[in-house]
Amino acid sequence: MPKPTFFRLADEKRQRLIKAAYAEFARVPFQTASISNIIRDAGIPRGSFYQYFEDKTDIFFYLLDQTRMQTTSLYEQALRRHNGDLFAALDEFFNAAADVLIEGPDAEFYANVFLYMDFQSATHFSPSDAKPPHKKELLRTTLSLIDRDKLVVSSDEEVGMLFRQAMWIFMQSLGHYYHRLRNGEQISLAQLKARMATMLHWLQFGAGVQKEDLHD
């Protein structure tokens, strides 16, 4: 994470550095990204960079944290707007987050994160019991805001299992989207959203034929 000196920078200089970092990580995968390019575009000396961040991993994960905070906010807003209805909130959240990732101003950065995701970046994005407490914000938000009367699950453990299944749908769908793009196939944002909506519907209502349907 940034050193205290980073937050003491003038806003214009801080934003210039972050913009340069986004541009570099959007241009190439993390492994080949260069601090030299970042400091050149930001117009700062190399020594100054190391006063703000330990290395390129440090600034890369700072950018990912900005995404985490943004998506956490989107999710909490959706839950509150739908009065704790988990599935209605997830549907809204999936669509809003997809808009940010696929068509937002930093779309190329997110594309590189997902196309060339390594273990570090993968664990930063996906929900896991192995993550430190601050990585569990979405789950904590879920547990505190959902209307459990709308679910057949009740315990925190069961809600956590359901939540992780829902987040798997989101992550798997994004992976599918970027994999197809990488292979030169065409897939639209609308198709991605339709895929997520279908899988979320299956999670909510099941994919099997109900007995009563067989007798219709």
Residue 65 contacts by C-beta under 8 Å, 6 or more apart in sequence? 1
42 and 91 share one domain: no
16 and 120 share one domain: no
User: Model pTM?
Assistant: 0.84
Would you give per-residue pLDDT tens digits along the chain (216 residues)?
A: 899 999 999 999 999 999 999 999 999 999 999 999 999 999 999 999 999 999 999 999 999 999 889 999 999 999 999 999 999 999 999 999 999 999 999 999 999 988 887 545 545 554 444 444 444 889 999 999 999 999 999 899 999 999 999 999 999 999 999 989 889 998 999 999 999 999 999 999 999 887 666 555
Got the DSSP string for 27-78?
A: HS-GGG--HHHHHHHHT--HHHHHHH-SSHHHHHHHHHHHHHHHHHHHHHHH
50 and 69 share one domain: no
For residue 210, tell me if it sits in a domain: no
For residue 123, tell me if it sits in a domain: yes
42 and 96 share one domain: no
103 and 185 share one domain: yes
The pLDDT of residue 133: 40
97 and 73 share one domain: yes
The pLDDT of residue 125: 52
50 and 87 share one domain: no
For residue 59, tell me if it sits in a domain: no
79 and 8 share one domain: no
The pLDDT of residue 127: 44
Residue 175 and residue 173: Cα distance in Å, rounded? 5
102 and 167 share one domain: yes
Which of 16, 32, 54 is the last residue in one of the domains? Answer: 54
In which domain, by residue range, is 116 found? 64-205
